[in-house]
Amino acid sequence: MDIKERVLGHGLRWWARHGGIAQFHRPAGAAGHVAGWVMGRRSSNVARNRWAARLLDVQAPEHVLELGCGPGVAVAALAGRATRGMVVGVDHSAVMIRQAGRRNRAAVKAGRVRLIHTPVESLALDGEPFDAALAVNTLGMWPEPAARLRELARLLRPGGRIALVSQPRCAGATAATSVTAADELTALLTGAGFDGLRTETLDLDPPVVCVIGYVSGRAARATS
Ligand SMILES: C[S@@+](CC[C@H](N)C(=O)[O-])C[C@H]1O[C@@H](n2cnc3c(N)ncnc32)[C@H](O)[C@@H]1O
């Protein structure tokens, strides 16, 4: 771990202990700008988001949805792949939507990225179903995540895929905490009707887990 990453990590842990954690749940105001700045530049966060976008294996014409997109790091990585498609990023923080807009200015202008300021629990989208969806370190902040995942299954085409990423941020988190997080995500996805589930791991400290699943016939039938 390089010195810049170490200093940022110490700073973040201090900030979290002193009430800053809320700024990662719903960044607002000047402190929210700082939280977005950190998420957009901290090498572990950037690596985690780019890794997740690679795992989702997005193809050029595909339509992709990212929930809780924060400052738009994964949106940029996804838009770099969906070059003839569309990436929709959603976040309930106006500060994050603005930062994501700046980070993806050219793609937004070209109509390949759309950013929506809304809570996931109020998300209303029409139009063609998405090929893939991504959520990085955000699902644990949503109200009733099981219900949200059932709604997401309805926004994806049959066979469409989802990637849920978690790097536990609680004090003292270890590799075992990451395994527990993966088990919880797997159970939630199974309950929402996704199948073909697999877990990938990125070797950070603690490890990042990504659970990938597909909209099953069962989930697709529930939508019709
Ligand atoms: C820890 S940050 C992660 C941001 C981004 N995914 C990343 O990895 O850089 C969590 C993000 O989820 C967003 N968020 C949390 N709850 C949300 C909800 N109910 N609806 C929409 N966005 C939400 C927050 O505003 C924040 O931008």
Task: Give per-residue pLDDT as tens, 43-89.
Answer: 889 999 999 999 999 999 999 999 999 999 999 999 999 999 999 99
Which residue puts its alpha carbon closest to atom 4 of ligand 1?
A: 70
Please work out whether the CB of residue 136 comes within 6 Å of at least one atom of ligand 1.
Answer: yes
Please work out whether the CB of residue 51 comes within 6 Å of at least one atom of ligand 1.
Answer: no
More confident residue, 170 or 223: 170
Contacts of 167 (CB under 8 A, 6+ apart): 44, 48, 137, 178, 202, 204, 206, 207, 208, 209
Check residue 68 and give left, alpha or beta (phi > 0: left; psi -120 to 50: alpha): left
How many A from CA of 129 to the centre of ligand 1?
Answer: 22
Task: Give per-residue pLDDT as tens, 143-164.
Answer: 999 999 999 999 999 999 999 9
The pLDDT confidence band at residue 171, using thresholds 50, 70 and 90, is: confident
How many A from CA of 117 to the centre of ligand 1?
Answer: 11
All domains in the chain, ordered by first residue: 43-223 (3.40.50.150)
